A and B are shown apart, each in its own frame.
Chain A
Amino acid sequence: MIARFLAAAVLLIGAALAAPVAAHQQKTAISILSHNPRTGMLEVVHQVPIHDAEHALKSKGAKGADILADNESRRAFARYVAERFELTVRGDNVPLTLLGSEIEGGSLLIYQEASSPGPGAQLTVRSQILTDVWVRQENRVNLGDGTNVETLIFRAGDRAKAGILP
C-alpha cells in the first residue's frame, strides 16, 4: 500500500485519492544540509510540521496514517521525503542514506546522510517535498548549519538549484 502511493506521487497527474484534506497546514518544509568535519559526512535534516506530514499521507490514501504513534506511517513519510529530495554533485546523484526520524515539538525531523563532498563543493538540490500535495507549499533548503547559510527556495515544479556547501 505504501509503495503504491509513493509510485503515485511521481505520476504526471498526481492522483486525487480519498478524503478531503483539512486545511490549516503550515505548508512549509525546511531542509538543512551541512558538512560535519568530524565525521566527513554530509548531514541532511528535514523539518516538516507533524500535521502536514500526516495529512499528506492521508491525502495520498494512507487512511490510517499516524505520524506520532505508528512507525510505519513515519517510515512511509520519511521515504516519501527521500524521494522528493534530490541532491547531485558535479552531475552525479548523491545517494542519501535514510537514517530515520524523530519528533521534536510540533515537527517531524527526518535524517539522511552521505559522504561529504567537502566544504566549498557546489551542491545541486531539488526539494519537492509536499509540492505535489499543496500548491502553496514553499520549501527552504539551507546550505550550512549555524550562522553561515545560503538558502534555496523551492515551489512546485521548480528545477534544481545550485549553491555552495559552507
Chain B
Amino acid sequence: MRLIAFFAALLFAFPALAQGIQQTKGSFEDKFRQLDEVLADPNVYRNASGAPGHQYWQQQADYRINATLDEDARRLTARMTITYKNNSPDSLPWIWLQLDQNIFKKDSMAELTNTFGGPGRRGPSVSAARGNAPAKLSLEELRRQQAMADNTYGYDITRVVSGGRNLDYTIVGTLMRIDLPTPLRPGQSVSFAMDYGFNIVEENTIYARSGYEHFPDDPREGGNDIFLFAQWFPRLVAYSDYEGWHNKEFLGRGEFTLEFGNYDVTMTVPNDHIVSSTGVLGNPSAVLTATQRQRLATARNADAPVFIVAPEEAEANEASNPTGTKSWRFTAQNVRDFAWATSRKFAWDAQGHKQPGAANSTVMAMSFYPKEGGELWQKYSTAAVVHTMKVYSRFSFDYPYPTAQSVNGPVGGMEYPMITFNGPRTNLNDDGSRTYSESEKVFLVGVVIHEIGHIYFPMTVNSDERQWTWMDEGINSFLDSVAGYEWDPDMPWTRSLPRDLIPYMTSTNQVPIMTQSDSVLNLGPNAYGKPSAAYHILRDTILGRERFDFALKEYARRWKFKRPTPTDFFRTMEEASGTDLDWFWRGWFYTTDHVDISLDTIHRLRLDTKNPDIDLARRRQELADEPEKVGVRLNREQGLPIWVLENPGVTDFYDENDQFTVTPKDTKKYESFLEGLEDWERRVFDRAVEEDNNYYVLSFSNKGGLVMPIILGLTFADGSTERMYIPAEIWRRNARNVSKLLVFPKEKQLTEVVLDPNWETADADIENNYYPRRIIDSRVETFKRPDPSSRTGRDLMAEVLVKDEKDEESGEE
C-alpha cells in the first residue's frame, strides 16, 4: 500500500514540476502572465532591471601569439602565451579551451553526427535514398570526402607549459581541459604557453568559416591563395556567472561564446603578402613601403577611400614570388576574438571615419580585395563600412575600435572584431572585362553593413552566440534594414519586415525563437527574420521610435564589453521603455503563434431619449425603413384587392392611431423617469440626448493566437479618416474575443473600418481585416492585373513562355 502511494506521488509530481503554474479548469490562457517564472532570477551579478549587477564580473584572457604561415604546405604553426585572470568569486581547478579546428577531424562530433541528407548539415549537397530513389552524392561531396581522407585536419598541440613545467591536459572533441597545478583563486592570474599547428582547410571544399581559397588561373606559377584565419588559435571557453564553463561542443552552426582580452599577435608570412587583421598595425615601417605609409596617412583624413595598395599594384604582386618573409605585428585591446587574412592578391583602400569626442576619434575604414572584387569593391565596400558606423552608432555607442575592415575571400559573410569577411564578387566576362549583377551589388552593400554591424552586436555587446543566434542576428538584421533604408530605401535587401515573415510564422512545425542555435529549424527566418520583424513592430508601432531607440541604446550601453543574456535584454527593454512587454516576449520569442486578428462585426447603437415623442417616432421610421413584405408586394403587382381599401367607410380609433402613437401613459412614464434621476444623472442624460452621438461596438477575434495591438483605420461618411491604436492589453482577460465601444459625434458616421491598414503587425489574413468585407485579390490575381502598382521588379513571362515554346517547336536553340 505504501509502495503504491509512493508511485502515485511520483506520477503527479513530475508534470507539476515540468509545467509550473497551470490552468487546470477551463481553457483560459493568460497571454499576459508575467515572465518571472521563465526568466532567470535576478542576483548580484545581473539585477532585476536587466543591468549588470553591482558584483558583475567577467573573466579576462590576454593572448600573445607568434604565428608562421607556410604558404606552400598551407600550414600554420604558432607559439602562444595566454594570461588568464580569474575575476569570478570561484576557485578554478582547471581551465577549458576551445579547439575549433578540431571540428575538421574525421572523428569530430560534428562529422560523426552529420546526418546524410538530414537537416542543418553544413557541407555539399547529398540526398538520402527514399523508396525507389537511390541516394545521391554531388561531386562537391566527393571532393570533400577525398580532402578529408587525404589530409589531417585539427590542432596538433605539442607543448603546454606553465612556470617551466608541463601541464596535464585532456582533449574532449573541440574542447580541452588544462589542469592547473593549484586552483586559480579569485583575483589571481595564470599564464601558460602552448605550441600548436594545423593544416589549413580549403574553405570551399570543407565548408568552413575560414581557410584558404586557391586561384589556379593567376599568372604566378602554381597560382595564388587567399588565406582567412578565424578560429585559428585555442581560445578560452567562457566562464560565466550563470553557466560556469560553457562546455558546448562546436558543431558548426552555433557560433561563439568568448571572453574579452588584449592581443599581441605577430604573423610571419611571405614578404609579398598584404595582411589585414583585427587590431592596429604595430610595425608599419617594417612591413609597408614609405609610399604605403604616406598613403595611409593621407587616407586618415580623406573623405573618400584612398588606395594603399592600388589594384594594378596588387595585380603585379599576383605574378610575383616572395623573396623571404615579413612579420606583421598587430595589437588589439579589449576584443573578444582575433582574426586575420593574408594574400599577395590584395588591393587595399582606406578612409578615416571621424567620431569627434569618441575614444577612437578616427576609425580607419578599410577594404582588402583581389582583382575578382574589382570595381564592385572599389566603389562600395569601404563606403558601406563608413555608412554602417554612422547608422549603428546612433543606435548604440561610438564605434569602439580603431579599425573597421572588410575583406573579400571565400567566406560569404562572417564577422570578427574590427574585421569582416565578405564574399560578393564580379564576374569575369569572355572579353576579359569584369561586371557584376545588380543583386550582387545589393548583396555586397547589405552583407558589409550586416557584418560590420556585428562588430557592435555581438563583438562588443557580447551575447552568447552558441546558445542564442537570435540575440545578435535579430538586432543586427533589424539594424541592417534600418541602415539599408538610409543607404537606398528601394534597395531590395531586407527580408525581415513583419510582412516578409507571414508565410513562415503561419507555417506549422516551427520552433520558438528561444531555441538553442544548433537545434533551430530554418535558421534564417527563425533567428534573423522573426526577431527583426518583432523589433520593427516594437519600434514603429508599439513603443514608438523615441522610447524604442532609447531602450535599445540603453541595452547597448549597459552591456557594452559585457555579456548579456536574453533575460537581461528583455528586462532592459521593458525597464528603459517603461512598458510591460512580457506579453510581447512571450508571444514572439517563446511561442510559435502568428498574428491574425479578425474584425468580425460592427454594431451601431443610438441612445434612446426615453421621450416618447422622439423615440416612438424613431421606431415608426425604423419600421417604415424595413423592406416591404415580399408577399404584399407580389399581391399588389398581381392586382389583388385589399379589404380595408375597398371599405373606406368602416373605420375606428386604430385607423387614426398606429402602435407608435404617444399615449398619456407614455408621457407620464417619461416624466416619472426624469423625476427619478439624481441631479448628476439628469445632467449626463440630458447632455447625451442633446449630443446624440454615434456609438459603435466592434467585435474582434484572435485567430492567430499572438496578442497584438489593434490598429484601426476609420473612414467616415464625410470622407475624413482617423487612425486609432488600441494597446494589446485589451486581450488580457480574453485572448480570443474582445469587443470595443467607439463613440463619435453625431455628424461622424462610420462607413468603413480597416484593421492594420499599413501592414504593420504581420497579420496573416487581410480579408478579415475589412468591415464591411471586401474582395481582396490574391497575390496571383494582383500579379496578373495589367498594371500592378504595389510591387516592383515584375516580370510577366507568360507571353515569353508561349514564344519560347514556339521557338522550341521550330527547332531553335
Contacts and interface: CB of A to CB of B under 8 A. Distances in A.
Contact of A43 (B135, B413, B438, B780): B780
B424 A22 contact: yes
Given A28-B524, A135-B124, A22 B412 contact: yes
A24 to B, nearest CB: 3
A135 B115 CA distance: 11
A67 B783 contact: no
A147 B596 contact: yes
| B122, B492, B509 pick with most chain A CB within 10 angstroms | B492
Interface string B462-493: 00000000000000000000000000000011
A69 B793 CA distance: 8
B503 A140 contact: yes
5 cross-chain pairs, A with B, having the tightest CB-CB distances, nearest first: A157-B127, A103-B793, A23-B412, A22-B423, A24-B412
B138 interface: yes
B493 to A, nearest CB: 5
B796 interface: yes
A107 B413 contact: no
Interface in A1-60: 12-16, 20-28, 30, 32, 34, 36, 38-39, 41, 43-45, 47, 49-51, 54
A156 B793 CA distance: 30
Interface string B778-798: 111101100000011111111
B128 A20 contact: no
Interface of B: 117-131, 133-141, 143, 204, 213, 410-414, 423-425, 427-429, 435, 437-440, 442-443, 446-447, 492-495, 497, 499-500, 503-504, 506-509, 521-522, 524-525, 528, 594, 596, 703-704, 764-765, 767, 775, 778-781, 783-784, 791-798, 800-801
B803 to A, nearest CB: 11
23 contacts: A13-B138, A15-B139, A20-B204, A22-B411, A22-B424, A24-B447, A26-B528, A36-B778, A45-B780, A50-B492, A51-B443, A54-B439, A63-B427, A64-B435, A66-B437, A66-B438, A71-B800, A98-B798, A100-B796, A103-B791, A111-B783, A147-B506, A157-B126
Nearest to B529: A26
Contacts of A32: 503
Given A28-B524, A54-B440, A102-B794, A47 B123 contact: no
Contacts of A27: 524
Contacts of A23: 411-414, 423
Given A13-B139, A50-B442, 13 more contacts: A12-B134, A30-B525, A50-B492, A66-B439, A68-B492, A75-B797, A99-B780, A103-B793, A105-B500, A113-B780, A135-B121, A142-B503, A151-B508
A13 B536 CA distance: 43
A44 B793 CA distance: 19
Interface of A: 12-16, 20-28, 30, 32, 34, 36, 38-39, 41, 43-45, 47, 49-51, 54, 63-71, 73-75, 78, 97-107, 109, 111, 113, 131-136, 138, 140, 142, 145-147, 149-151, 153, 155-159
Contact of A16 (B140, B437, B594, B775): B140
Contacts of A12: 134, 136
Contacts of B504: 30, 140
A51 B439 contact: yes
| A21, A24, A150 pick with most chain B CB within 10 angstroms | A24
Contact of A149 (B128, B414, B508, B783): B508
Given A99-B797, A155-B117, A67 B437 contact: yes
A69 B528 CA distance: 26
A122 B435 CA distance: 48
Contact of A105 (B439, B447, B494): B494
Contacts of A44: 780
B447 to A, nearest CB: 6
A156 B765 CA distance: 31
Given A16-B140, A36-B781, A113-B780, A102 B795 contact: yes
B507 A100 contact: no
A101 B131 CA distance: 33
Nearest to A106: B495
B442 A149 contact: no
A102 B792 contact: yes
A43 B778 contact: yes
B127 A78 contact: no
Contacts of A142: 503, 506-507
A132 B412 CA distance: 19
Contacts of A78: 797
Nearest to B126: A135
A12 B135 CA distance: 9
B136 A155 contact: no
B761 to A, nearest CB: 14
B130 A157 contact: yes
Contacts of B125: 14, 131-135, 156
A39 B797 CA distance: 21
B506 A149 contact: yes
Contacts of A70: 437
A146 B803 CA distance: 35
Given A146-B764, A147-B704, A100 B797 contact: yes
